[in-house]
Amino acid sequence: MPSLTLDEARDRTDLLTVRRMEVDLDLDRGAEHFGSTTRIHLTASRDGETFVDVAPVTLHRATLDGVELDATSLAERRLPVSLTPGEHVVEVEATMAYSHDGEGLHRASDPADGSDYVYGHMFLDAGPTVFACIDQPDLKAPYVVTARAPQDWVVIGNGRATQDADGLWRLRETQPLATYYVSICAGPYVQVREEHDGISLGMYARASLQAELERHAPEMMAVTRASFDYFHSIFGIHYPFDDYDQVFAPEFNAGAMENPGCVVIRDSYLFRGAASDDEVLTRANTISHEMAHMWFGDLVTLRWWDDLWLNESFAEYMAHRCLVAATGYDQAWVDATVARKAWGYSAERSPSTHPVAGSPAPDAKSALANFDGISYAKGAAVLRQLIAWIGDDAFLEGIRDYLGGHAHGNATLADFLGAMQRASSDELDVAAWSAAWLETSGVDVIAVDRQGTITRTPPQDRPADRPHAMDVATYSDGARTSRVELTLDSPSAQVEGLDLAAPLIIPNAGDLTWATPQLDGTTLDALPGQLPQVTDAQARAVVWVGLRDGAALSLVDPRRLVELGEAALPVEDDDSIFSRIGMHLTNRVIRVLLPEDEQDEARARMAAVGEQVLAEAEPGSSRALHAARLIARTTEDVDGRLRPWADGRGLPSGLEGDQDFRWIVLGQLARRGLLDEAGIDAALAHDRTMTGALGALTARAAIPTPEAKEAAWRELTTSRELSNYELVALAAGFWGPADRDLVLPYVERYFADVPAMSGWIGEDALSRVALMAYPSRIVTPETLRLSRATLERADLPQGVRRSMVDAQSELEEALLSRERFAR
């Protein structure tokens, strides 16, 4: 299937405008198919040949101004159309297929009660699988949508939905929308509603999650209200769309999608059991992030996919800013460091790194390759650098200029830079700043030596001259003994006023810039004794993320991280740091970077940390919850911990009846061969929910027998019935047996079988499966050889290629680390 190219998009923009879209959907035709009739009202500027995008199961009828088009001319989702100057109407009637891979109109069945639910996800180019359209982001148009649905269903969409006497749902006409922002959700959803600042707020969930929705809604509504108030105050434009509905949908691929007036969010955010403080913070961040998109992306939309950052970087930055300023989540920037920036730095280390802005996107599919931690986390960090350079008042003035000047239209990097230049001092060259920060790739290494010299080293293969507005701080026995703010705009400089005798010198301690801090030898040696005493959570987060980078680049022995985790995690009081670093130590450092013969002992040390924290933490606290999860992932105490917890005995306070925690424990028992198919079936009988079904799939894939591995692999790579979530669940359990010989034959099979799945799974879903199923735990030269050979294939799907490139980069890091720090 061809992907729309930039040249093709420009040709269509030059030829036509889309004035109005009318879409009629019939969702009452069973579980596999739905009806779709579309009327595209457009105006052509001249004679020209073009095409309408549509991907039907059956194309029943297509007309141009009432004249039948040749339906047999439809090829590869393109229906040719010949236009003359003036106004036209293209009408297309088709039968479409529901998807199970999270793209288009996804339909999922809830095993808790047998009910079906539908959500629409048109990003990036899935719109034509739902309705005929001119599918490119710069041809925005108002939408009028109707939907016929089963009698017990409700319908939610971009415009307020009302039901006629005959049962037909009509959605109010929208403001101009890009095709990929159109969404419709339908099913027996339950809801809570309230009003705020003239905006009707709704939250929807599956009927089986009604109790969870009602329990969590007050906190989520509070974040929603506070975010609206904050964004109204700084953007100067009231929310520009219809009702603001947030739909917690089953099997949603991403964290959330910012469809105007109909935000779709993964329903795992409606925590069934215990939820930690950092999980609630992450959900709050998601809510605020998607709302920021109502202005950045929805009101003002990128003209082409190479400006994806205009959506994501701004929403990422604004959400964290809003949480700190308006919602009481004052540790949001610490969470951003250990969760989001760590993700972005990992993307920067990969061969697939790219600039924040202006990355070539010759076709729509290639844009997905840049939908990563650089567009999100690095972009947000770069915006903080822009603010440090031009000032916050000028930044906000520029934002208001940008949003007001392009409202309900499209914009480019040049438009943004123009607004910032108008708002800033004439002496400042915003274009030069952009060339240094937005239009270059790579991350600089910042180091401070014991003579007070600070150095800035860009990657050798990606030279750049980036000025850093940042700080350097020193610590001794927990106290900060000095802090200096500076702008580093040269390769090196002398920092005056630092306490150079302090045990810890931490560059970028406030995490004000995008850079990897390289710690000096004295600081590295002092960390186990000193870091646990540092009271500044932001500085601790910076140290940990710097060590992650150092270990990945083979500059720091991964054993140092285990040693520091053993010393610092027992007293770590920031939820995000404890959670994210604990996961990184167990999932990456111990089971990938360390040699196999050292992994059991290192896991035992982490289990001991978990036991210590659990014994000392307040019962039922977030800290106790994280400690219990750490124990469940690492302990070898089968009879004292795993079996009793699986049976519901001796559980920590707050985890009684927590099925999600139970599935973690059951997965560990299955991996050890202590839970068979019958035991998993028995557990599933007590948790017949979507989450329970996923937990059972992961546990089955983890059973360490040849038969179980073969069955799991066959199901993962050949079943066309499994959803996107089910495929990921299988992959999550597959590679973990103690006996690696059980899975070694599947290393080669991965590189043949997973790319072949592109025949029936969408690009976005398959890229996630490819990343999760990659044999990253089999750290051998043979795995690397097979991976490199596969990447030489010309027919590799783009999403799979990007996932393999990133996973292979981490495999190369692990091989180098094991070689460099071999004992």
For residue 552, being part of any structural domain is answered with no
For residue 464, being part of any structural domain is answered with no
For residue 646, being part of any structural domain is answered with no
Instruction: Report d(CA 472, CA 672) in Å as an integer.
Output: 47
Where are the strands (E) in 116-231, listed by range? 116-121, 143-148, 154-157, 161-163, 168-171, 184-187, 190-196, 199-205
Taking only the tens place, the pLDDT of each residue in 200-209 is 999 999 999 9
Structure tokens, 557: 């022995």
Together in a domain, 179 and 309: no
- How does residue 356 score in pLDDT terms, banded at 50, 70 and 90? very high
- How does residue 2 score in pLDDT terms, banded at 50, 70 and 90? confident
Taking only the tens place, the pLDDT of each residue in 788-813 is 999 999 999 888 999 999 999 999 99
763 has a pLDDT exceeding 90? no
- How does residue 359 score in pLDDT terms, banded at 50, 70 and 90? confident
764 has a pLDDT exceeding 90? no
The stretch 144-173 carries a mean pLDDT of 95
Instruction: Report d(CA 410, CA 418) in Å as an integer.
Output: 14
CATH of the domain at 423: 1.10.390.10
Name the average pLDDT for the chain: 96
Question: Is residue 303 within 8 Å of residue 246, measured between CB atoms?
Answer: no
* pLDDT in the model for residue 425: 86
- How does residue 738 score in pLDDT terms, banded at 50, 70 and 90? confident
* pLDDT in the model for residue 98: 97
Together in a domain, 49 and 178: yes
* pLDDT in the model for residue 695: 97
The closest of 38, 14, 40 to 138, measured between CA atoms, is: 14
Taking only the tens place, the pLDDT of each residue in 290-339 is 999 999 999 999 999 999 999 999 999 999 999 999 998 999 999 999 99
* pLDDT in the model for residue 799: 87
For residue 662, being part of any structural domain is answered with no
Taking only the tens place, the pLDDT of each residue in 73-119 is 999 999 999 999 999 999 999 999 999 999 999 999 999 999 999 99
369 has a pLDDT exceeding 80? no
Taking only the tens place, the pLDDT of each residue in 550-571 is 999 999 999 999 999 999 999 9
Structure tokens, 401: 């200029």
The stretch 217-225 carries a mean pLDDT of 98
Instruction: Report d(CA 613, CA 193) in Å as an integer.
Output: 40
Report CA-CA distances (Å) from 571 to 153, 338, 545, 604.
50, 17, 18, 18
604 has a pLDDT exceeding 90? yes
* pLDDT in the model for residue 368: 75
* pLDDT in the model for residue 54: 98
* pLDDT in the model for residue 327: 95
Domain boundary among 437, 457, 473: 437
- How does residue 46 score in pLDDT terms, banded at 50, 70 and 90? very high
191 has a pLDDT exceeding 80? yes
- How does residue 366 score in pLDDT terms, banded at 50, 70 and 90? confident
Q: Is the pTM of this model over 0.75?
A: yes
% of the chain at pLDDT higher than 90: 94
Number of independent structural domains in the chain: 2
Domain boundary among 391, 411, 437: 437
Domain boundary among 437, 455, 483: 437
- How does residue 602 score in pLDDT terms, banded at 50, 70 and 90? very high
Instruction: Report d(CA 382, CA 442) in Å as an integer.
Output: 12
- How does residue 616 score in pLDDT terms, banded at 50, 70 and 90? very high
Contact partners, residue 745, CB within 8 Å, separation at least 6: none
Instruction: Report d(CA 331, CA 174) in Å as an integer.
Output: 37
Strand 58-64 vs strand 86-97: parallel, antiparallel, or unpaired? antiparallel
The stretch 476-489 carries a mean pLDDT of 97
For residue 28, being part of any structural domain is answered with yes
* pLDDT in the model for residue 253: 86
* pLDDT in the model for residue 491: 97
Parent domain of 424 = 301-437
The per-residue DSSP string of 616-662 comes to HSPTTSHHHHHHHHHHHHH---IIIIIHHHHTT-SPPTT-TT-HHHH
571-580: string of b/e by CB count within 10 Å (b at 16+)? ebebbbbbbb
Helical spans, DSSP H, in 6-75: 6-15
For residue 816, being part of any structural domain is answered with no
* pLDDT in the model for residue 640: 97
249 has a pLDDT exceeding 80? yes
Q: Any idea which of 3-7, 39-43, 349-353, 589-593 has the lowest mean pLDDT? A: 349-353
For residue 790, being part of any structural domain is answered with no
* pLDDT in the model for residue 239: 98
For residue 651, being part of any structural domain is answered with no
For 214, the 3-state DSSP assignment is helix
The stretch 455-475 carries a mean pLDDT of 95
The closest of 474, 471, 574, 478 to 531, measured between CA atoms, is: 478
Active site residues: 290
155 has a pLDDT exceeding 90? yes
CATH of the domain at 143: 2.60.40.1730
Question: Is residue 405 within 8 Å of residue 419, measured between CB atoms?
Answer: yes
Instruction: Report d(CA 598, CA 819) in Å as an integer.
Output: 14
Together in a domain, 174 and 318: no
